[in-house]
């Protein structure tokens, strides 16, 4: 199989307080030299998993090669040695089994964190996630819940073979009962994953592997989660709103810097939780700026960007000074590595869309 073979390529390349820190089982460790770490996004994932396993005996981690090998991207490196084979479980190469076992564990009070090696292989989990995980609370009229997390690296940009670069987040966002969370930095990866694990309902946690090792940030390992269902405003601005999530937040921030050089103040919003969507933050920004560009790596049609654009039209139409622009991938499968860069939205694409919306008023 090609999964393990791309590791070297990859390595080089308050709304609901219950969602965040309420009902948290974290310790009350205070920030100090011993628990401040300069980490990449994938290392922040490891840090959060280690914290969750340490704080809560009901948390278990399972997936293909996550124990002995530490995961295809080494997100679970060292966890088997620290917590043992009963809590860090290597599974067969069977995604439907991984999801099904996780639903069963969660229904009985455990908090499984399951890893799917790549989003291209996540489709086998859909029956369990759609028909059971997302419905369990409703099916039992609240008697049971399903506190599980389904993790998966997603997106392109690492020159991977077929089925290793998908961005199908909209598919899960369309399933009632599921949260879909996508971090864009080490600090948000740590805090959002902890909150996802503590959440009483199922969370699909998608990790943009293109930026797994792109930057380092100082992360305080204090067990504090970040709020789910909430956008993060990364940059204030008054001229237009740039909305994105996952790896494309990196290009969006670079585009905002380029726009600043020509006198344009762009506000940058990281959606972070695409379902349920925090439209309040997006709407307030659009009411202030009057213009919006939505950036996604996924194919253009029927995506999260389309939903955000439609909601802006429904809720903030009279504030718009120009039509909402979308920057996205093409309605095709991700190309093979030689043409991958032609598919991926670029900083120039974002700047062009922003310029067009500024001129169209």
> Are 46 and 194 in contact, with CB atoms under 8 Å apart?
no
Which tokens belong to 310?
A: 């439609």
As a whole number of angstroms, the distance between CA 327 and CA 318 comes to 23
**Whose CA is closest to 303, among 281, 328, 283?**
328
Chain centroid, CA 211 distance in Å: 12
**Whose CA is closest to 47, among 37, 57, 56?**
37
What is the side-by-side strand order in the sheet with 273-275?
88-90, 59-63, 111-115, 149-154, 203-208, 179-181, 273-275
Question: What is the H or E stretch that residue 343 is in?
Answer: helix 340-343
Residues 6+ apart with CB under 8 A from 349: 327
Tracing tokens 């789910």 back to the chain, one arrives at 228
Q: What one-character DSSP code corresponds to residue 131?
A: I
Catalytic residue among 132, 159, 164, 174, which? 164
Our answer to whether residue 164 is catalytic in this structure is: yes
Residues 6+ apart with CB under 8 A from 106: 112, 133, 136, 145, 146, 147, 148, 202
Q: What amino acid positions are annotated as catalytic residues?
A: 164
């Amino acid at each position: 199989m090609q999964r393990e073979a791309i590791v070297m390529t990859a390595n080089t390349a308050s709304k609901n307080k219950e969602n965040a820190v309420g009902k948290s089982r974290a310790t009350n460790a205070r920030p100090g030299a011993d628990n401040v770490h300069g980490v990449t996004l994938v290392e922040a994932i490891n840090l959060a998993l280690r914290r969750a396993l340490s704080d809560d005996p009901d948390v278990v981690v399972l997936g293909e090669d996550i124990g002995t090998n530490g995961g295809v991207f080494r997100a679970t490196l060292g966890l088997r040695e620290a917590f043992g084979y009963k809590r860090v479980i290597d599974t067969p190469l069977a995604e439907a089994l991984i999801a099904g076992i996780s639903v069963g564990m969660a229904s009985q009070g455990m908090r499984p964190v399951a890893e799917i090696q790549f989003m291209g292989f996540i489709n086998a989990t859909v029956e369990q996630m759609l028909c059971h995980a997302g419905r369990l609370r409703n099916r039992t009229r609240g008697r049971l819940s399903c506190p599980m997390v389904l993790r998966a690296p997603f997106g392109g940009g690492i020159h991977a073979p077929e089925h290793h670069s998908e961005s199908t987040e909209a598919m899960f966002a369309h399933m009632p009962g599921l949260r879909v969370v996508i971090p864009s930095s080490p600090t948000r990866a740590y805090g959002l994953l902890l909150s996802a694990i503590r959440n009483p309902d199922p969370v699909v946690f998608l990790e943009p592997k293109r930026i797994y090792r792109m930057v380092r940030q100082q992360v305080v390992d204090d067990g504090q989660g970040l709020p789910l269902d909430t956008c993060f405003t990364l940059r204030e601005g008054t001229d237009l709103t740039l909305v994105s999530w996952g790896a494309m937040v990196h290009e969006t921030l670079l585009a905002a810097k380029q726009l600043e050089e020509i006198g344009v103040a762009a506000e940058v919003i990281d959606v972070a939780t695409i379902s349920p969507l925090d439209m309040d933050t997006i709407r307030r920004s659009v009411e202030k700026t009057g213009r919006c560009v939505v950036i996604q790596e996924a194919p253009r049609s029927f995506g999260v960007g389309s939903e955000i654009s439609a909601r802006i039209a429904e809720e903030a139409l009279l504030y718009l000074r120009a039509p909402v622009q979308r920057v996205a991938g093409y309605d095709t499968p991700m190309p093979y590595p030689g043409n991958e860069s032609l598919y991926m939205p670029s900083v120039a694409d974002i700047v062009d869309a922003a310029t067009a919306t500024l001129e169209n008023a």
